[in-house]
Structure 1
Amino acid sequence: MLEKLSRLLLRRSRTVLVVAVLLALAGGTASVTLFDKLTAGGLADPDAESGRAAAVLDAGGQGTPNLTLVVSAPQGVDDPAASRAAAALSQRLTDEPDVVNVTSYWTAGMPPQLRSHDGTKALVGATVRGDETTINKVLADLVPRYEGARDGLDVRVGGSAMFWKETTELSQSDGAKGEAIAFPLTMIVLVFVFGAIIAALVPLSVAFVTMLVGLGVLWVVASATDLSVFAVSVVTLLGLGLSIDYGLLMINRYREELANGRDIQAAIHRTMATAGRTVVFSAVTIVLVLSGLVLIPLPAVRSMGYGAMITAVFAALGSVTVLPALLAVLGTRIDRGRVLRRRRPVAASETADSGFWHRLATFVMRRPVPVAVLVVAFLLLLGAPFLGIRLGMPDERSMPESSQARQVTALIRQNFDGAELNTLQVVAIRADAGSAEVGAYAMRLSQLPNVGRVDTVTGSYVAGSMAAPTGPTHQRFAIGDGVYLSVVPSTAEADDALHLVEDVRAAPAPFPVLVGGAAAVSVDTTDVLVERLPYVLLLVAVTMVVLLFLLTGSVLLPFLALLLSALSLTATFGALVWIFQDGHLSGLFGGFTVTGTIASTIPVMLFALSYGLAMDYQVFMLARIREEYERTGSGTTAVAVGLERIGRMVTAAAVVISIVFLGFTVSGITYVKAYGIGLPLAVLIDATLIRGALLPALMRLGGRATWWAPAPLRRLHHRFGLRETDRSGVPAVETVSAR
């Protein structure tokens, strides 16, 4: 198939390039309005108990409280003039379309929980209805009309709705900054690798087409279903990284074939038949590995998975269509604009028996045991902090200090008891608002540990007694055929709120109940990740074993690859816990607030993306090692020569994609910054310690067994396996000794 494609590309190379430019322009045009179609948030499971509770509240016209106004009055919030102005402000907010459930200190009977310790500030809470896109549009209109000095009052607008609005806006601006940093640095690295400006521009051109077309596809997907804003960063940065990875592999092979004496057309044919096939195989592998993210029922995680799979597909398509077409047009001019003197590429027919990677592989295979022990010990030491990982949901502390949502929340924590921020909503389905059971249930909940107050349609309850009888402000707790109860913790501690979720869910109820709220979302998100992770691991493991067997024909190598990838990821996760959970080196990485937890989605996303990229490099290296093994019949020679031929390109690819992912570190969002540290770390560990030291050592220790497979599986591989040499040239694996 690739041979037919290469012939078509040689005949229609300019047409292919024109079509690619038109598709890129179409994708770029569509991407202008892409952010209007994307949603913020998406880190909660809509089918979990907390998600169903939120859905019931939305259907009942209440919604989950997501807007908080801190109103300051220098003369005191109980001053008559301040009270009149604040009551008028509360009424104006009540009259706003799409705003419901308005509760303020002045209209709720002046409860002390809504008044600051010094009496100069008070709270107004409300719910902005709609999906994330609608809420963002409402806030864009509402905030300028309420924020700032108003009738002798000073108003600050915050809440979870503001948090997610700022997250969307910051993600968009951070993505642009990351790309602005990644592109020039990537260009410098590529010029250093290829030694020529034209050769460096080729993979960048393919990357540009991949990103724009990928964004266009995201626009189509977002028009049909909900898609998180985080998918954009994945498409842009991963598109740049993968396209350059594939471009390095293809151009390196093309130059080798030219050095081998082939003409331009023959070199392109051979490049497509070898490196092109590896690129396609690599993309299929990444797509299958990342498909495990679809098993996680969090919209943001699924969106990032969809974005990554789309990117892998179009990066591969661009690399086997646009890139060969560019090579056909450029021919030998690909080395124009040479700025560095580079050594002549080693021809495919020559023996690469010298060079850094050959010497390194030879050194390692002469001392496999001490090298393996030292590297494994170092990786386990680096991964040790992972044993103490604590998962949690990102909150306003993950935003930069300039974030308005963060500033408002800090203001509340400093001047109020802060417990209102962790309020739980207990939705009582099919409960009669006038039933005595509602009051009795609320009274029992108020006696639970760490419960400060329970509000519902029958009144307010504290410590097992009614603190306030039902009044006009309590009528909002009636929703449809049921009611809901607001359970306010007695402390502002996040851990106490998490324990309270479990206590409320375990408490006997006279009717079906659903427990929601921010703390409940955190509990449910962590639970669903822990529940689904084994299935993701199983899918990834099976996919990896099957595909690597088809690549290598070995039974041992796929399981060896699983072990090596597990070591690499353990070290990466340990480093992330040490940095972001324990707070080491925060100043080095732009500064961030240490919360004592890691965002629940980080391990899952890092696992999938890192594993996919690790498979990428394994495919590159093992395909070339297998090719040398089939050519020479010697295991040790195949490893040394294969690493010499591909090691430099894999290292360059790792450096380039690390630079790309380091673009995430400019983000002001802590958990996005964690991706910017974790992904490059995983890639560099895999491309150096794993592929440069541990893989050769373990393959040497495996000896002849490294390439062994039983006869039925050998026949299966002979028929369906990926090969880059003629089948007639395959040695009898079981009879060849590994020298």
Structure 2
Amino acid sequence: MDRYAAFIIRRRWLVIGGWVVVLIGAIFAASMWAGPTTTSFTSDTRTEAGRAAELLEQAGQEKQANATQIVIAAPEIDGGVRNPDVEAQVTALVSDITASSPDVTVTDPYGPQSQISADGRIAVASLDVGTGTDAEVQDRIDDIKAIAEDNQIAGVDVEFSDPRFDDAPPNGAAEGVGVLLALIILLIAFGSVVAAGLPIVSALFGIGVGASVLFLVQNFMDIPNFAISVTLILGIGVGIDYALLIVTRYRSGIHDGLDVNQAVTVAMVRAGRSVLFAGGTVIIAMGGILLSGGNLGPALTFAAIAGILATLIASLSLLPALLAVIGTHINSLSLHWLRKRKGKDPNKALEGVWAKKWSARIQRTPWVGVAGAVLILLILSIPAFQLRLGFSDAGNRPTSATTRVAYDYVTEGFGVGANGPLIVVADYPAGTNPQAELETLRTAIAADPQVAENGVAPAFQVGQADGKDISIIQVNPVSGPQDEATTELVNRLRDETIPDALGPDSDVTVQITGLSAGSIDYAEVTLDLLPWTIAAVLAAAFILLVLAFRSIVVPVKAVIVNVLSLGAAFGVIVAIFQWGWGAGIFGVGRAGPIDSWVPMMLFVTAIGLSMDYEVFLVSRIKERYVRTGNATTSVAEGLASTARVITCAALIMICVFLSLVFLPDRSLKILGVGLAVAVFIDASVVRLLLVPSTMEILGKANWWFPTWLEWIPRLDGMHQDEDDTTPAEDPRVSDKLNR
């Protein structure tokens, strides 16, 4: 690392210029060649819904499984949507929307494929805005919204079920709030605009490149439309934190009288190596998402790693180059009202008497600390035992959103189940006529008490696939798309109703798809794989901690503590979003399941970040223990010396993650709140209470390492605290600098 730092210092302007060129080039390439994203989860061929959707696609009916709706409501007009004047104006409006782009198609609201409620006041037609890049699709959506706005019909509401029609803040606006709050925290911590701005600049350069790469990869991989928010939020959070550690160590070096080159080198040797290990750990943890498989697992893995890896590289290359250029001006543009006493280390802004007093208290009553922390975590974890996975529907959105209004109108006119109809796909040998069997099946499905009255449409043939004819039957449940009763209905139809209606000798094969069925199937696949993901990530964390500390006890303790703290985080999001406790604060319309991809993403991300804090705190404790041999004082000193940076880093992470609540997507709100809670718990209850208390109790046993494992490579020298020794105390660094 010292040789690498020396290279960066010598080539500082080349490194900075290279980053500027790469950033500009990446943004230009992304603006020119960004690929499209996907909003569908029904194409996972590991599931029945995915295989049925594939059949429909082969039959030229791929839109059938993922159709969105345009809803026309005339609640106060005599005759409703069938009023002749209304019908004429609606027909004209639909024609204008269809003519807005050759890629846009709308079924006739009065045609055979559309639906009109029994009272004639609400009509529903299918709407497809076509494919293409996100920008191209959004342009079509904006045109449609403008047409609907310019051609308003008196007494008639025109609403859309596609979430892309909802008003949303500009891309990056929510994340910008997190960056602004992080800047405020850094200003308070550093008391200098220059010092506070460097971590922000480094993170923004990295995230600019990482996000651009994600846009380009969308041409070759199915990437969900919310993945960019994952890239931005994780990249910004870890990027600022990693840069914070390096800048903090650099300022300490300058304060201790080192020249600029020495301070940069020591910052990289000490904090830089910790950052490299921490970033690598988070990336390895993110690899756990791959176990979820399908299209979404690799996509989310790439989205997360793109942001983290780019900001990690920026922290280890662009940032030291900037420090070498800025030099002793690191404390320039000081905020006078935050200026510290002359001669005092500028990094001690958040470290004070409270940390030392807290350490002393932990030292006196460690059993109280353990009992209190465990009790808090167990109480918070109680709701997690009722975790239910699924996908949010529009009923969770704010009542002002067009998707929510459309949802409520459809519920009023056709029942809540019409917002997520089940598509029963039947395939049978071409040329045969199984209409009698299909009618028997239709009657059996209609007899289920969870199927809406008159909620089963007649079967009709839609095409051919693999030499077989394909027919579909649309089914409207009594319950909504995200309701548990709908899941029970789908499973009952598959396991009992369909086999009983067709019999074992039938040539008709039946599968169920649609947005609701696809969401149910994906949730079940995710739930089945979640324990394996947890086990794999925890095993990787255990191995990495063994390498980092050459201890068995510390990794075992870390795994147990991580399970407890993540259980608490899961409990909080279940209480808020699934039970509805305070959900309105976060702009959620009503309670619902936890979106299926969120727990896995939350788990691996929180484990990775928790490992960062674990390494940072325990490294300091071990360093003191190796120097003094005193297991008791080393815990207190390690806690006192790291509380400041852990607190500052955690506050930044919390602010950045909570910025996701400003986005309309409920799943991103859940992820943001979950990550913020996980970081808060980890940095407070865990790092400042549970970990030091248990280490105080275990004493020298913390560092037990069996002799038969001595063959394991040593990595325990990689991690040094950012407030560690001067270069004169490290002959290797001093020799390099002297040369």
Q: Normalising TM by the smaller chain, what interval?
A: 0.7 to 0.9
Give the structure-1-normalised TM-score: 0.86
Q: Deviations over 1:484-520 (max 9, x none)?
A: 3324235244444322211221121423222102221
Deviates more, 1:297-306 or 1:642-651: 297-306
Task: Check if 1:498 corresponds to 2:487.
Answer: yes
Q: Deviations over 1:107-164 (max 9, x none)?
A: 36x9xxx4335333333346666589586666555565567758999462423xx22x
CA distance in 1, matches of 2:95, 2:193: 65
The answer for the alignment partner of 1:20 in structure 2 is: 19
Pairwise CA distance, 1:236: 2.2
The answer for the alignment partner of 1:48 in structure 2 is: 47
Pairwise CA distance, 1:710: 0.8
How much identity, in percent, do the aligned residues show? 29
CA distance in 1, matches of 2:312, 2:92: 60
Pairwise CA distance, 1:415: 3.0
For residue 471 of structure 2, the aligned residue among 474, 478, 484 is 484
For residue 360 of structure 2, the aligned residue among 362, 365, 378 is 362
The answer for the alignment partner of 1:468 in structure 2 is: none
Number of residue pairs the alignment of both structures matches = 699
For residue 530 of structure 1, the aligned residue among 520, 527, 530 is 527
SS at structure 1 position matched to 2:424: strand
Pairwise CA distance, 1:371: 1.2
Pairwise CA distance, 1:413: 1.0
Q: Deviations over 1:32-89 (max 9, x none)?
A: 4576633334586343211221121122122325132334463414556666777788
Q: Deviations over 1:232-288 (max 9, x none)?
A: 222222222212211221122223334444333223222222211111000110000
Structure 1 segment 499-518 matched on structure 2, within 5 A: 499-506=488-495, 507-508=498-499, 509=502, 510=506, 511-518=508-515
For residue 214 of structure 1, the aligned residue among 196, 207, 210 is 210
Do the aligned residues in 1 keep the contact of 2:424 with 2:475 (CA within 8 Å)?
no
CA distance in 1, matches of 2:285, 2:651: 22
CA 1:453–1:548: 2 relative to 1, 3 Å: same
Matching residue's letter, 1:7: A
SS at structure 2 position matched to 1:119: coil
Pairwise CA distance, 1:310: 1.9
Matching residue's letter, 1:67: T
The answer for the alignment partner of 1:304 in structure 2 is: 300
The answer for the alignment partner of 1:384 in structure 2 is: 382
SS at structure 2 position matched to 1:722: coil
Do the aligned residues in 2 keep the contact of 1:49 with 1:524 (CA within 8 Å)?
yes
Structure 1 segment 260-271 matched on structure 2, within 5 A: 260-271=256-267
The answer for the alignment partner of 1:292 in structure 2 is: 288
Pairwise CA distance, 1:190: 0.7
Do the aligned residues in 2 keep the contact of 1:501 with 1:520 (CA within 8 Å)?
yes
The answer for the alignment partner of 1:66 in structure 2 is: 67
CA distance in 2, matches of 1:662, 1:126: 34
Pairwise CA distance, 1:534: 1.7
Q: Deviations over 1:441-487 (max 9, x none)?
A: 3343333443345767xx56xxxxxxxxxxxxx45477772223324
CA 1:609–1:723: 2 relative to 1, 3 Å: closer
Pairwise CA distance, 1:193: 0.8
Deviates more, 1:597-606 or 1:562-571: 597-606
CA distance in 2, matches of 1:260, 1:91: 74
Task: Check if 1:119 corresponds to 2:120.
Answer: yes
Task: Check if 1:546 corresponds to 2:546.
Answer: no
CA 1:382–1:43: 2 relative to 1, 3 Å: farther
Do the aligned residues in 2 keep the contact of 1:58 with 1:129 (CA within 8 Å)?
no
The answer for the alignment partner of 2:447 in structure 1 is: 447
SS at structure 1 position matched to 2:222: coil
The answer for the alignment partner of 1:693 in structure 2 is: 689
Structure 2 residue runs without a partner (length 5+): 731-739
For residue 403 of structure 1, the aligned residue among 383, 401, 404 is 401
The answer for the alignment partner of 2:583 in structure 1 is: 586
Deviates more, 1:91-100 or 1:669-678: 91-100
SS at structure 2 position matched to 1:428: strand
Q: Deviations over 1:572-609 (max 9, x none)?
A: 111112222222223433x3212342222222221122
Do the aligned residues in 2 keep the contact of 1:241 with 1:657 (CA within 8 Å)?
yes
CA distance in 2, matches of 1:453, 1:691: 58
Do the aligned residues in 2 keep the contact of 1:501 with 1:519 (CA within 8 Å)?
no
Do the aligned residues in 2 keep the contact of 1:431 with 1:483 (CA within 8 Å)?
no
CA 1:142–1:323: 2 relative to 1, 3 Å: closer
SS at structure 1 position matched to 2:712: helix
Do the aligned residues in 2 keep the contact of 1:40 with 1:132 (CA within 8 Å)?
no
CA distance in 2, matches of 1:485, 1:601: 29
CA distance in 1, matches of 2:105, 2:51: 19
For residue 158 of structure 1, the aligned residue among 157, 160, 171 is 160
CA 1:223–1:130: 2 relative to 1, 3 Å: closer
Pairwise CA distance, 1:694: 0.7
Give the structure-2-normalised TM-score: 0.86
CA 1:92–1:692: 2 relative to 1, 3 Å: closer
Do the aligned residues in 1 keep the contact of 2:362 with 2:636 (CA within 8 Å)?
no
CA distance in 2, matches of 1:57, 1:500: 22
The answer for the alignment partner of 2:734 in structure 1 is: none
Deviates more, 1:354-363 or 1:199-208: 354-363
Do the aligned residues in 1 keep the contact of 2:71 with 2:125 (CA within 8 Å)?
yes
Matching residue's letter, 2:476: P
SS at structure 2 position matched to 1:426: strand
Pairwise CA distance, 1:406: 1.9
For residue 186 of structure 1, the aligned residue among 177, 182, 185 is 182
CA 1:721–1:42: 2 relative to 1, 3 Å: farther
Pairwise CA distance, 1:182: 2.3
Structure 1 segment 616-635 matched on structure 2, within 5 A: 616-635=612-631
Structure 1 segment 32-181 matched on structure 2, within 5 A: 32=31, 37-42=36-41, 45-63=44-62, 64=64, 66-72=67-73, 74-76=77-79, 77-78=81-82, 102=107, 104-107=109-112, 114-125=115-126, 139=141, 154=156, 156-159=158-161, 162-163=162-163, 165-166=164-165, 170=168, 173=169, 175-181=171-177
SS at structure 1 position matched to 2:532: helix
Deviates more, 1:661-670 or 1:87-96: 87-96
Pairwise CA distance, 1:91: 8.8
Structural RMSD (CA): 3.4
Pairwise CA distance, 1:719: 7.0
The answer for the alignment partner of 1:557 in structure 2 is: 554
Q: Deviations over 1:305-353 (max 9, x none)?
A: 21221222222211121111122122222122222233666699x9x99
Deviates more, 1:566-575 or 1:618-627: 618-627
CA 1:332–1:354: 2 relative to 1, 3 Å: same
Do the aligned residues in 2 keep the contact of 1:146 with 1:155 (CA within 8 Å)?
no
Do the aligned residues in 2 keep the contact of 1:231 with 1:306 (CA within 8 Å)?
no
Pairwise CA distance, 1:547: 0.8
The answer for the alignment partner of 2:707 in structure 1 is: 711
SS at structure 1 position matched to 2:329: helix
CA distance in 2, matches of 1:42, 1:262: 56
SS at structure 1 position matched to 2:428: coil
CA 1:72–1:595: 2 relative to 1, 3 Å: same
CA distance in 2, matches of 1:195, 1:719: 35
SS at structure 1 position matched to 2:333: coil
Pairwise CA distance, 1:530: 0.9
Pairwise CA distance, 1:692: 0.8
The answer for the alignment partner of 2:437 in structure 1 is: 437
CA distance in 1, matches of 2:602, 2:427: 39
CA distance in 2, matches of 1:389, 1:690: 23
The answer for the alignment partner of 1:571 in structure 2 is: 568
CA 1:263–1:141: 2 relative to 1, 3 Å: closer
Deviates more, 1:226-235 or 1:314-323: 226-235
Matching residue's letter, 1:369: W
Q: Deviations over 1:659-687 (max 9, x none)?
A: 11121122233332222322122111111
The answer for the alignment partner of 2:736 in structure 1 is: none
Do the aligned residues in 2 keep the contact of 1:231 with 1:304 (CA within 8 Å)?
yes
SS at structure 2 position matched to 1:185: helix
